[in-house]
Amino acid sequence: MRTNEMKIRAAALLGKQIANIEKLPESGSNRLYWRIYCNEESYIATYNADIEENRSFLALSQHFAQNNLSVPEILAVDLDETLYIQSDLGSDSLYNLILEARNKPELLGQLKNQFRKVIDNLLRFQFVSAPEIKMFFSRISFDKTSMMWDLNYFKYYFLKLAYIPFDEEALEADFQAFSSHLAQVPSHYFMYRDFQSRNIILKDGQPYFIDYQGGRRGALQYDLASLLYDAKADLSAEFRSEMLDYYCEKMEEHKLASSSLFRKYFNDFVLMRIMQAFGAYGYRGYYEKKSHFLQSVPFAAINLKMLIDSPEYKINYPELSKVWSAIADKFATPDQKEKESDKLIINISSISLKKHYPEINAEHGGGFVFDCRSLPNPGRDETLAKLTGLDKEVKDMLAEDKSVERFMRHCVDMARDAIENYLDREFRYISFSFGCTGGRHRSVFCAETFRQEMQYIYGDDVNIQIRHCEIDQE
């Protein structure tokens, strides 16, 4: 669907005039998303030709909302059920906080606190009263048949396309044995299916949850494995262990289930989830030729190697063991894990246009300079003059102004066109500067807002650097 068509359909559905519409980055699904603006409100419009998947999402959204779980509000659904409008939760995901905390150790405490909130909510999802709805899938639970589908997905879209050798008959026998082993675990709980940090939005300090349309009944271990072993999140072993302990403590505290039984099968479900992820990376990367999905493979391979090398984990599947070792040998090496120097560098700076323009990269030449002087100036307010664009009072003032929002939207749209072109041409550097009179308020706020948008859109597929030229010198 084209953006203009979406604008017309969404306006008719909401019964409101749309001031602006912005297409959001595509993810690993075939769903298309737009952020639409109506006066002072914004919404998320979703188009998906898979009507059964839409029905599942809408029914689950209603059920979760009735049980006071933090999910988007469904505001309108088109008659053909391919388009629906939901509340806009914003763009700050748990994944963005993970990336930010890597470069700012002082954020580790905040990250742990958010993970604990997420785990508290995960337990609520898993033990929510059974939805009195029809699940719009051929399987209503993650049973042995579903597991075999995921394992074959792993075989045909990753092992074969990545040229990992295996004995077909022996691997099939191990698939059967492995899925039978996991099928004996209690599985009458709600299984979110894709419980990973990109699907957790942080708004006003609280987590909200999206993309649960694949949910069904299943074992408890799968969702925590998805959260803690998400490849690109690249969490440390210590962090994972601490969060696993927290989950088990909460489970015991509320007398929900046996933590010892949970731990007994946890690593098995981690391996199942990792194999499912490899299948997805292979399908999107090797088969659909979306190469950026393959950037996650080395991270997943490192997770795999850590598990199979663990002396506490006993592997009873000889052909699977050979396959896992072959993947680790091929991908889980330092030279396979993506190097920062190979990424596109997005250099962002705030400057005083009265004093100077940004320094020019000698190899790549100039870049974009956005003039923020037409925006409202916090420096004219005596209570704000001594603050900077990093302070909450200044950020609140500028964030509430529609001219600032419109300015940033144009900057981001222009930047995305250039960045996509640079990525296609394998360039290694692009710069964006935001300037105002003093270089302390408007330019700093805009540069930081721009950084957050780029982080949300491109994640750690790019190397984002930021410098505030005036306030860094203070």
pLDDT in tens, the chain (474 residues): 788 888 899 999 999 889 888 888 766 678 899 999 998 889 999 999 999 889 989 999 999 999 999 999 999 999 999 999 999 999 889 999 998 898 888 999 999 999 999 999 999 999 988 666 555 555 678 999 999 999 999 999 999 999 999 999 999 999 999 999 999 999 989 999 999 999 999 999 999 999 998 888 999 999 999 999 998 898 999 999 999 999 999 999 999 999 999 999 999 999 999 999 999 999 988 888 776 678 789 999 999 999 999 888 888 999 999 999 999 999 987 554 455 457 888 989 999 998 877 766 555 667 899 999 999 999 999 999 999 999 999 999 998 899 999 999 999 999 998 998 888 787 888 999 999 999 999 999 999 999 989 988 887 778 888 889 888 655
Q: Is 113 exposed, middle or buried (0-12, 13-18, 19+ CB in 10 A)?
A: exposed
What is the total residue count of the chain?
Answer: 474
Domain edge (last residue) among 71, 87, 103: 87
SS3 431: strand
Query: Looking at the structure, do residues 30 and 167 belong to the same domain, yes or no?
Result: no
Beta strands in 391-445 (DSSP E): 429-436
Q: Which of 87, 104, 135 is the last residue of a domain?
A: 87
Are 357 and 351 spatial neighbours (Cβ–Cβ below 8 Å)?
Answer: yes
Looking at 50, 66, 87, the residue that finishes a domain is: 87
Cα 390 to chain centroid distance, Å, stands at 25
Whole-number Å distance between alpha carbons of 167 and 179? 18
396 with 454, same domain?
yes
Q: Residue 275 is part of which domain span? A: 94-331
CA pair distance 441, 377, nearest whole angstrom: 7
CA distances from 434 to 22, 368, 443 (A): 22, 9, 5
N-term to C-term CA, the chain: 50
Q: Are residues 156 and 216 in the same domain?
A: yes
Same domain? 358 vs 380: yes
Residues 268, 170 within the same domain: yes
Residue 303 is part of a domain; what is its CATH number?
3.90.1200.10
Residues 102, 81 share a domain: no
> Alpha-carbon distance 446 to 43, whole Å?
22
136 and 70 part of one domain: no
Residues 196 and 282 in one domain: yes
Number of domains in the chain: 3
Pairing of β 83-87 and β 41-47: antiparallel
100 and 82: one domain? no
Residues 137 and 230 placed together within one structural domain of the fold: yes
Handedness of CA 257, 263, 266, 268 (dihedral sign): negative
Q: Give the closest residue to 129 by CA, choosing from 71, 186, 189.
A: 189
